[in-house]
Amino acid sequence: MKNTVVVLAGPTAVGKTAMAIRLAERLGTEIISADSRQCYRELTIGTAKPDSAELQAVPHYFINSHSITEEVNAAMYEQLALGYADEIFSRQPFAIVTGGTGLYIRAFLEGMDQMPAIPEEVRQSLRDEYEQKGLPWLQETLQRKDPGFYANAEIHNPHRLLRALEVLEATGRSIAAFRSGRQQQRDFKVIKIGLQLPKELLHQNIHLRVDRMMAAGLVDEVRSVEAFRSHNALQTVGYSEIFDHFDGKITLPEAIDGIKTHTRQYAKRQLTWFRRDAAMQWFDAREGDAIETAVMQQLKA
């Protein structure tokens, strides 16, 4: 039997963790996380990390594996995840990969183009300017300086825009020039399952999750990592809004509302990303039996 990776993808708060654990227990295997923030030990509440019972139920890789003092990116993830998969395959022929970071999943399955190194002063200068002037400045700057890239960019994703601007400033060339579009061949079979929910239900899940994060102490968690606020992982939903509150820009209720709004927007972007993949088989996240049956049939095929 050929080694097989089952990818469980979908938007935040759709129910990926529970389904991944169910499949891993059925297959007697382990889970590789594809979440760009859950790898950081210091970020637990704001990243909706699996709880201790879930982590004990099934071994997870790339959760609590790094410190916020480190920068982790998609190219690093590619190598780490391939190593994790080899480790799992040494014991059984199946592995589960789950998470909402589409770029990390793509890096693992298809490989990453080599990107140029960015001098720290360039990165920091752009970060500082973005923090002062916000997303509209970032969008306008990139649209003016690299209209070709901007035309097809995720224009509401500050990470992607900052990265493109960093490459442009450091090299004088568009980030698009460094993308070969060549896919790496992997020596395992891949089954891709996408989880979705009706929009109203997904939004309800998101709002409930944010309320639980606040009750669990999100404000204290954000305060504990304030010294690292320029870190990529903290320029994201759930952290940037609380930092704005600390800076006196918005009230705490406004920050909470902002987290809910921005999480809904993020979920929409995730769905757009994953729906571009024609190999993704979509299921309602509540159809656990149907998902399990589909996976088992394909593993036997």
| Alpha-carbon gap, residue 190 to 279, rounded angstroms | 10
| Alpha-carbon gap, residue 95 to 188, rounded angstroms | 10
As for how many domains the chain has, the answer is 2
pTM (2 d.p.): 0.85
Note whether 103 and 21 are same-domain residues.
yes
Q: Which residue is it, tokens 């990139």?
A: 142
CA 113 to chain centre: 18
Note whether 126 and 108 are same-domain residues.
no
Domain final residue pick, 178, 205, 221: 178
pLDDT tens for the chain, 301 residues: list them. 799 999 999 999 999 999 999 999 999 999 999 999 999 999 999 999 999 999 999 999 999 999 999 989 998 999 999 999 999 999 999 999 999 999 999 999 999 877 788 888 998 899 889 888 988 898 999 999 999 888 877 777 787 888 899 999 999 999 888 776 678 889 999 999 999 999 999 999 999 999 999 999 999 999 999 999 988 899 899 999 999 999 999 999 999 999 999 999 999 999 999 999 999 999 999 999 999 999 999 998 8
Q: Which helix (H) or strand (E) segment is 51 a member of?
A: none
| Alpha-carbon gap, residue 31 to 75, rounded angstroms | 20
Note whether 106 and 216 are same-domain residues.
yes
Sheet containing strand 281-284, edge to edge, reads: 60-61, 31-33, 94-98, 4-9, 189-196, 281-284
Nearest residue to 243 (alpha-carbon basis) of 261, 260, 255 = 255
Task: State the residue range of the domain holding 228.
Answer: 4-113+183-300
Tell me 114's DSSP state: P
Tell me 299's DSSP state: H
Note whether 174 and 221 are same-domain residues.
no
Note whether 124 and 76 are same-domain residues.
no
CATH assignment of the domain containing 17:
3.40.50.300
